[in-house]
Amino acid sequence: MNKDTRIYIAGHRGMVGSAIWRTLTGKGYTNLIGKTSTELDLRSQTQVAIFFETEKPEVIIDAAARVGGILANNNYPYQFLMENMQIQNNLIDFSLKADVQKFIFLGSSCIYPKLAPQPLKEEYLLTGPLEPTNEWYALAKIAGVKSCEAIRKQFGKDYISLMPTNLYGTYDNFDLNTSHVLPAMMRKFHEAKENGNTPVELWGSGTPMREFLFVDDLADAVIFALENKFQENLYNVGTGTDLTIKELAELIQNAVGHTGEILWDSSKPDGTPRKLMDVSKMEQEGWKAKVGLKEGIQLTYQWYLKNQETFKQVKL
């Protein structure tokens, strides 16, 4: 891998893609390719074919996806299944046709069965039913993992899949209607602080356990995978540690400086009791997460304060 290798980052403006772009630039890579969705519709075979012909990328990092929370997944199952498959199928297939030697496919921990043992190991893939609330997205991502595995097996190319745990960080989505738990909590605590430290109401009992990875750590893992040849095709990326939602809330509350009460609405669902990744395979390759949760939350809140007027809004 040379510093002038032509690297295309699909989804370079998203939270993950922008972190990868920043990290690559910081490491001296000078030939990065990025296209907005208006410049290149990854769902279109024709447009993707023209892109490969004209830009001639040598490495592909696929951080592009149709994403959303439970409500969006439930309301638009066809789009979450079909559009994600179109995006990844076009990128993977044209990479193979163009003899691209290195492809990094990014997925999600939701590819694993809903009731798989904890912590989640890579070999648990396809051993049981998926979580119904996001099975459409998960099925698309599983197809991507298996496509990269098939190319690796049949053609011997270095195509690998990285499955991150729950991500957070700069350029996150703080829209209360569509955001995930950590950014949603951060915004709630901040607005309550601004309103005189009013009480903050949170869903559930606070007892479920979750794992969180700072997005810059994922970017670091991607670059590590870029610069090294891994032994297998599928790797979990996370911290290997988790905490309760109640402990998470208290960490965020302290970082924000909210001094009011936290009210737990136990009539609301808790979700899966625990969701922890086994990251031993990644550690065996030589990579470990660096940013602790407390530090990552502080960095995210600093970014939040500077960018409140430009938060990403998810539109369907």
Residues labelled catalytic: 137
The verdict on whether residue 270 carries a ligand-binding annotation is yes
The verdict on whether residue 14 carries a ligand-binding annotation is yes
The verdict on whether residue 258 carries a ligand-binding annotation is no
Give the DSSP per-residue string, 154-222: HH--EEEEEEE-EEESTT----TTT--HHHHHHHHHHHHHHTTS--EEEES-S--EE-EEEHHHHHHHH
Which DSSP letter does residue 243 get? E
If 0-12 CB within 10 Å is exposed, 13-18 middle and 19+ buried, where does residue 211 land? buried
Q: 112-144 in b/e burial notation, b at 16+ Cβ within 10 A? A: bbbebebbbbbebbeeeebbebbbbbbbbbbbb
The verdict on whether residue 119 carries a ligand-binding annotation is no
The verdict on whether residue 106 carries a ligand-binding annotation is yes
The verdict on whether residue 180 carries a ligand-binding annotation is yes
The verdict on whether residue 11 carries a ligand-binding annotation is yes
The verdict on whether residue 75 carries a ligand-binding annotation is no
The verdict on whether residue 244 carries a ligand-binding annotation is no
Prior bond to 183 cis, omega within 30?
no
The verdict on whether residue 164 carries a ligand-binding annotation is yes
**Widest distance between CA atoms in the chain:** 62
Q: Which residues are annotated as a binding site for NADP(+)?
A: 11-17, 106-109, 141, 164-167, 180
Binding-site positions: 11-17, 106-109, 141, 164-167, 180, 188, 203, 210, 270
Annotated binding site for substrate: 188, 203, 210, 270
